Structure 1
Amino acid sequence: MELCHTHGIPHSQFTGAGDGRWTALDRAKALAWLAYTRAVCSGCGTRADEWRPDLGGDRFAYVAEASTCPGCELVAMEREQVPDGPEGRGVKIGLKPRREQ
Structure 2
Amino acid sequence: MWLGEPTREVVEHYGPDGTLTGRSVVTRPSPWTDEDRGWLMAWLAEQREVCPGCGLPLVDCRDPKTAGSWTPVVDICQACLVAQAEMDNQNEGPRRRGLYVGVRRT
Tell me how far apart the structure 2 counterparts of residues 52 and 87 of structure 1 sit (CA, whole Å).
40
The normalised TM-score by structure 2 is 0.50
Tell me how far apart the structure 1 counterparts of residues 54 and 89 of structure 2 sit (CA, whole Å).
28
Q: By percentage of residues, which structure has more helix?
A: 1
Structure 2: gaps spanning 5 or more residues: 1-31
Q: By percentage of residues, which structure has more strand?
A: 2
Q: C-alpha root-mean-square deviation of aligned residues, in Å?
A: 3.1
Cα pair distance change 1:30/1:47, threshold 3 Å: same
* CA deviation string 1:32-67 (max 9, x = no partner): 44211233233321132112337xx62345311110
- Residue equivalent to 2:50: 40
Question: Which is bigger in relative contact order (C-alpha 8 A, separation at least 6)?
Answer: 2
- Rg larger in structure: 2
Runs (4 or more) in structure 1 with deviation over 4 Å come to none
Letter in 2 for 1:36: E
Cα pair distance change 1:87/1:30, threshold 3 Å: closer
